[in-house]
Structure 1
Amino acid sequence: MTRTTTFHARLLRSGADPQTVTVRASSDVPPRTLRRAAGGGGELNFDVYALLDADGWPSAATYTYVESLSREPSAADE
């Protein structure tokens, strides 16, 4: 059985102040990527972050920005 872990993710992005968010993970290891909701409007926008440093695991991990993704909402999203 996999346990759920709550940890603090430090998100790094060039040109922006570092941000710390609380994340739940259903694993005993830090997730390799995080996808965070971003923006708004008629599309679903996500910022993707990759694991950079897990020295503080299981209480904390640091991630760096990789890319932003967006898609049109489907009927299942409404």
Structure 2
Amino acid sequence: MTRTTTFRARLLRSGAEPQTVTIRSSSDAPPRTLRRAAGGGGTLNFDVYALLDADGWPATATYTYVESLSREPAAPDA
């Protein structure tokens, strides 16, 4: 049986205030990366964060911004 852990992720990004979000993980270790939905429009946008500090695990972990990714949504099946 997989154990689900809920933890607080602190997200750091240059030029922005730190943001804290609650994350659910199905692992006994913090995820190495997080993808968070960002923006909108006609594409799917994600901000990618990498694990920076897990000293507070399993209650907290800190992540730093790496990059933003975007892709077109999949076409519906006809």
* TM surpasses 0.5: yes
Superposed displacement of residue 15, structure 1: 0.1
Identity %: 87
Distance in 1, Cα, partners of 2:75 & 2:51: 32
Superposed displacement of residue 2, structure 1: 2.4
The structure number with the bigger radius of gyration is: 2
**Structure 1 residue ranges (4+ consecutive) displaced by more than 2 angstroms after TM superposition:** none
Gaps of 5+ in 2: none
Matched to 1:24, the amino acid is: R
1:27 maps to what in 2? 27
TM-score normalised by length of structure 1: 0.94
Deviations 1:47-77 (A, max 9, x none): 000000000000100000000000000036x
- Equivalent residue pairs, number: 76
CA RMSD of aligned residues (A): 0.9
Aligned pairs for 1:45-56 (under 5 A) are 45-56=45-56
Gaps of 5+ in 1: none
1:6 maps to what in 2? 6
Distance in 2, Cα, partners of 1:11 & 1:26: 20
TM-score normalised by length of structure 2: 0.94
